[in-house]
Amino acid sequence: MKYYIFADESNTDKARYMLIGGIWIDEITYNQVIAECKRFKQENGWSDTTKFNWKNLSKKTLPQYCAFIDIFFKYNLQFNCIIIDRKEIDLKANENKDPELGFYKFYYQLLRQNSKKDVPYYIYLDRRNNSEPTRLDTLKKFLKKDNHKIDLLGKVETDKGLDIRALEFVNSNTYDLIQFSDLLMGAIGFHYNKRHQVPEASTHKIAFAEYLAKKIQREDLIFNTERRGYKNFNLWLFKTSKISQKI
C-alpha cells in the first residue's frame, strides 16, 4: 500500500517560532478524504480548487473553515510538526552558513523521525522558491540513506533509510491535505508566537485556534510532545542547535 505525506511550512517570516509540518496518510484513507473534501466544497458552493488557508480565514468563512478542519478529525489523520525557536537555533549554523540548507535540515528531521521503515512514501511539499534547484534531490538522497553508528559496546547500529518513491513540490490549491497542514500550523504558530494576545488580534483567528485546541482537548496550542510524539497530533519543539546529520 502507498503512503503519502503532504507538508508545508508556516511562520517563515521573522516570527520567533517557525513551523514545518504535514499529514501522514495511507492510500485508502487518502482516497476517502479527498472524496469527502470534494463533496464538502461542492455542498458549500466552493470550487474544487478553492484554497483553505490561514491567511484567508475571515469572519465570514469561519464556520466553513471549522467544518473543513473537522474532516481531519473525522478520519483521525496523523499530523506531525517540528517547531524551531529562532532565539535558540540559527538556521545559518552549518558549514556553508546557508539558512536555506538549515531549513531543509529540519525538513529532514521531521520526515525521518516520523516515518516508518519499509513503507513506500510519496511526499508532496507546498511549492517554494529555492536558491539551489537541487534541494529536493539532496533531501531525498539523505532520507533514503542508511545511517550507521557505534554503540557503547562497540556494536554497529543501523538506522535504515526510508523508501522514498517520490518527493515533489506541488501547488497547494489542488491538494486539500496540504491545506489541512496550512490551517493547523497557522493556528499553532498563532498561539506559539503569542499573536492571539496582541490588542489587534483577529477575533476569527482567535476563535479558530480555540476551536482547534478544544478538538484536541487542550487549553491552547502551546505544547510539546517531543520527537516521537503521541496519538495523532504531534508538536515537536526542537531543543538543540546541533543537528548531527549532514545534508
Asked if pLDDT for residue 247 goes beyond 50, the answer is: no
**Global confidence as pTM:** 0.91
Q: Can you give the pLDDT at residue 245?
A: 47
- Residue 245: CB atoms within 10 A of its CB come to 12
Distance CA 116, CA 124 (A): 17
* 202: Cα separation from own chain's centroid: 23
- C-alpha distance across the termini of the chain, in Å: 29
- Over residues 115-148, the pLDDT tens digits come to 999 999 999 999 998 988 999 999 999 999 987 6
Cell numbers at residue 12, please? 517563515
CATH of domain 3-237: 3.30.420.10
DSSP bridge partners of 78? 24
148 near 158, Cβ under 8 Å?
yes
In 3D space, the residue among 210, 217, 247 whose CA is nearest the CA of residue 233 turns out to be 217
> Side-chain half-sphere of 13: how many Cα atoms within 13 Å?
6
Asked if pLDDT for residue 246 goes beyond 80, the answer is: no
Across all residues in the chain, what is the average pLDDT? 91
Q: Can you give the pLDDT at residue 48?
A: 84
35 near 152, Cβ under 8 Å?
no
- Residue 69: CB atoms within 10 A of its CB come to 20
Instruction: Tell me how long the chain is.
Output: 247
- Over residues 10-48, the pLDDT tens digits come to 999 889 999 999 999 999 999 999 999 999 999 999 888
Average confidence (pLDDT) over 200-214: 97
Give the type of residue at 55: K
Average confidence (pLDDT) over 57-65: 95
Distance CA 93, CA 180 (A): 31
